[in-house]
Structure 1
Amino acid sequence: MKSNPLRAGAFSALAFMLAGNAIAVEPSPVQATGVINQEFGVDASNWDIAPFNAFTFTQTERIFPTLLISPGEQPFAPLSYAANQLDLALLMVTDPATGKSVSADTLLSDRIRNSGLMLIHKGQVIHESYRNGLRRDVRHIGMSASKSFIGMLTQIAMQKDLLDEDDLVSKYVPEVRGKMAWADVTVRHVLDMRDGMKFVEDYEDPNSDVRRQDRAIGWRARQDGDPKGLRDFVRQNLNEKSYPAGKVFNYASIQTDILGMVIEGASGESLEDFFEAEFWSRLGAEFPAGMGTDGFGQPIVQGTISLTLPDLARTAMLILNKGQNHRGEQIVSQDFFEDLLTPNKELSDAFAYYDPDASFAHYRSQFWVNDTWNKQFLMNGVHGQIAFFDYERDFAMVGFGSYPVAVSPLLTASLFALLEAVLTELDEAASSDNRH
C-alpha cells in the first residue's frame, strides 16, 4: 500500500527497501462497514461491550479500516515448548470474589473471561490455551497493550537519531504548534503521560474527552459536528493543561496517538511503514499484525493494534531478552528496558497522584511498572489484555480477554491472583530442583 501523500514521508519508502526491508503494508480485505452482526444489532455503538466482546474483539476490522503489517520475508521465530506443561486445571488459586479455592482454569474462564493465555518461562512456553473460539492464527485486539509497542517504536526512532526525548512535541506535530498549552511539552513528557494536558479518560461518560475522541476516530459511530479523524480532533482539542508538564501522571490514551504523529513527523515515514520495517518484520512474527486507522488514513495506535497470541508471546520474548530478537539483533536498546525498572523519584511522585498506595510503581515509556524492586512490569489493556514480565524469574504471561466491563478492581485482583499462583508454583518447582 502506498503511504497517504497528504502525510509526511510519502516519498521515502525506498530508504527502507535499500535497508533490506520491503514495504508490504496492505489494507485489510475486510471492509469496515461499522457492522459486525446485523441480525443481532452488533455495530459501532456496542461492539466493545458484553456480551458481544467475547467474539467481536477478533473482528475489529469490520469497525475501523485496518492496515495489515507484514511479518516480512525472514522465517518466523519458532516457539520452544517445555516438556512439562503447566496444567491450569490442577493449579489451585483463591477466587478474589468468593474467597474460595478454584482451579486456575476455572478462574480464567469464569472470572477473568480470558480468551487465550500463554505462559513463558526461561525461553519456553509452559502453557498455552484458547477459549471463546480464539485460535492461534486469529488476531485479537490488544486494546491499550498496543501503547507499549509505540513506546518501543519511539525508542527506536531515538536510537536512529531521528528525535530526542527532550524535543518539543510541537516540533513534529503541526496540529499542536502555536498552542500555549504545548509550549513546554516534550516527547519524554508524552511518553510517560506527564504532559499535563486536560483530558478525561472516563469510559462510562458518553461525553468525556475519551468518548468524544472515540467518535472522531471511528471507534464509535460519528455524530454531526464531530471532528473528522485524529488530526482534526487534536487540532480542535487539547488546548488546556490540568497540571504543569512533568508533574503528574495523568493517563490519557490520546497521547499515544500523539507519539505516533511524532514518529511520523520525525521519520518522514508513515507510522505503519516505520512499524513494519523497524519492528514487526524483525521480531520473527509468524502472522501479519493489524493497525486500525481513523478512516482518513491516520493510524490509531492507542488501542487498535491486533495480533495473534503466539506473536504476542514472541514480543514478550523480545522484551525478556531486553530488546534482542531470536537472531541476536538488538531491535530495541537494552538501556530502554533497564531504564523502565530504574527507581525514579520524579516518576513515583508523579504516579502518587494516580495511586498513592503504589510505593514501587510508576509509568514509563508507555509501560506500567508494577514493582521496580522485583523487576515486574506490564503491557495492559482494558477487558483483560495483558503482557506481564518478571525479569528475576525470566517469566512472562500474555493473554487476551473479554471481561464484561473495561476496567474493574475484581479483574485486576483476579489476574494478580492467577499470577501469584503461577509464580508460587514456579518457585516451588525451582526449590525442589535445587534440593535434588
Structure 2
Amino acid sequence: MNSRRIMAAFPPGKDELVTLANWRQHPFNEWAFRNVRELLPTANIARSREPAALSFAPRFLDDASFANPRGEAITVAAALRSSHTDGIVVLHRGQVVSEWYAHGMTPDTLHLIFSVSKSVAGTLGGILADHGKLDPDAPVVSYIPEMEGSVYGSGCTVRHLLDMSVGIRFEEDYLDPDGDIMKYRRSTGWEAPDPSVPPTNLRDYLRTLRPNGNPHGHTFHYVSTNTDVLGWVYERACGISYAKILSQYLWQPMGAEHDACITVDSRGAARVAGGISATLRDLARFGEMMRNHGVSNGRQVVPNWWIDDIRHGGNAEAWSRGDLTQVFPNGNYRSKWYTIERGETPFAAVGIHGQWIYIDPASEMVIARVSSQPLPMDLDFDHMWLRGYRAIAARLCGKA
C-alpha cells in the first residue's frame, strides 16, 4: 500500500482509513503516530511562554558510516531512509548540528513517543521529590490506599515503581492478541471495544494486578502498568492531573516551545507509561537538559542529585536477572532511564517502534529520534542505531 494515500482523501477509502484496529500497524502507523489527537482523547501539556532558544551550527553527518544488521557498511543517510525513521535531531554542545524529517513530520509536528514517556515520568519524580511533594521510599498505598490487595499493596514502594522492580505477574508481549498487554491497552482506550469483554478503565484495571512470587526489588521486570501507577501517585501527591503536573513542573520550566499531549482513558486517567506526543525539538531540549545536569532555559529544573542518581544508581544484579538483557547486556535502569553500558557515559530513553533520546555526556551529544517501525521491538534496528549514535558521536568529536 502507498502510505501517501492513507487518510489523504476526504473521506478516506476503507483501505486507507486509520482506526483503533490498525493504527499501530505499518504503514498506517506513519500517519497515526503523528495524529494521535485525531484517534484518541488527550489532555494538553502546556508549553512555556519563554521557550528555550535553539542555536544551529549545521554539520554534514550523512556519510558517517557504521554496520547495518547484516554487518555491511551503511551511512547515516541510508539508515534513516531504511529504518522507518520519521525524524532526527542531533545536538552537539547544545547546538543543533543536524535535523531531518520524513513521512510528513516537521519541526512543529507532534509524534507519539511511547515509552520515552516513562523517562519523562521518572525525571518528573525527582522534581517532585525535590519540592517535598514525593517520597520515593514511601509505600504506594500511602498515596493510593485503594491499591491494598493488589500487587502494589504490601511492600511495594514508589522506588520499586521507578526502577521496574515490582514482583508483578504480567508479560509485556506486544504481539500477543490475548495477553496482558491487550487487556491493559483495552483499559486505556488504545484498542477498539470488544463486545464480548466488559468495558473497563485504567485505574480499575491496575487494581486487579497480582504478584508473581518474586520479592519487590529483586528483579528488573519491565511492565508498563508500574508507570501508570506512578503517575497516579503523583496526582495524589500534588492534587492535580498528571498533564498539569507535567506542564507546571517540567514542560514549562524547561522551556518547551510547543504544547505536548497525553492520551487519557474514558475517565480521564493519563497513559503515563506511553501516551505522550511531543515535537522532536522539544524532545531534544529535554535530552539537553538531562545532559546539563537538569539545567534548562537558565534554571535548575531537575535536581542535580537526581540526575547523578539516574546515571550512577540502579541495581545491576536486578538488571542481570531481568528481561531486557538482550537489549543492553551490561546495562542498568534507574528512575525510568537506561544505562547503555555500565562504566560508560551514554544513557537513554527508549520507546517501542523506534523512539529514542540518546545522551552521551562524554561526547557532549544528544540525539532525539522518532520512528514508525513496523515491529514494536526490533533489536536489529535498535543495535544498528546504537552503532549509528556512536558513529555520529565519533564524527562530532573528530574521531572519524
TM over 0.5: yes
Pairing 1:296–2:267 present:
yes
Cα distance, 1:81 vs structure 2: 1.0
Cα distance, 1:319 vs structure 2: 0.8
Pairing 1:134–2:105 present:
yes
Match of 1:93 among 27, 47, 66: 66
Q: d(CA) in 2 for partners of 1:181 and 1:334?
A: 29
**Structure 1 pair 52/180, CA: closer, same or farther in 2 (3 Å)?**
closer
Which blocks of at least 5 consecutive residues in structure 1 are unaligned? Answer: 1-35, 432-436
List aligned pairs for 1:32-431, cutoff 5 A. 39=14, 40-73=16-49, 75-82=50-57, 84-88=58-62, 90-97=63-70, 99-110=71-82, 112-179=83-150, 182-224=153-195, 225-235=197-207, 237-327=208-298, 329-342=299-312, 344=314, 347-354=315-322, 355=324, 360-428=330-398
Which blocks of at least 5 consecutive residues in structure 2 are unaligned? Answer: 1-10
1:17-71 deviation digits (Å, cap 9, x = unpaired): xxxxxxxxxxxxxxxxxxx956324210110111111121011112220112111
Query: Could you tell me the TM-score, scaled by structure 2's length?
Result: 0.92
Q: d(CA) in 2 for partners of 1:42 and 1:155?
A: 38
Opposite residue 76 of structure 1, the aligned amino acid is P
Q: d(CA) in 1 for partners of 2:74 and 2:178?
A: 40
Q: d(CA) in 1 for partners of 2:289 and 2:370?
A: 19
Q: d(CA) in 1 for partners of 2:211 and 2:227?
A: 18
1:119-140 deviation digits (Å, cap 9, x = unpaired): 1111111110101110000100
1:266-320 deviation digits (Å, cap 9, x = unpaired): 1112111111111111111111001110121111111110100111111111111
Opposite residue 190 of structure 1, the aligned amino acid is L
Q: Is the 8 A contact 1:139 1:307 kept in 2?
A: yes
- How many residues get paired? 386
Question: Once the two structures are aligned, what percentage of the paired residues are identical?
Answer: 30
**Structure 1 pair 269/422, CA: closer, same or farther in 2 (3 Å)?**
same
Query: Could you tell me the TM-score, scaled by structure 1's length?
Result: 0.85
Cα distance, 1:416 vs structure 2: 1.3
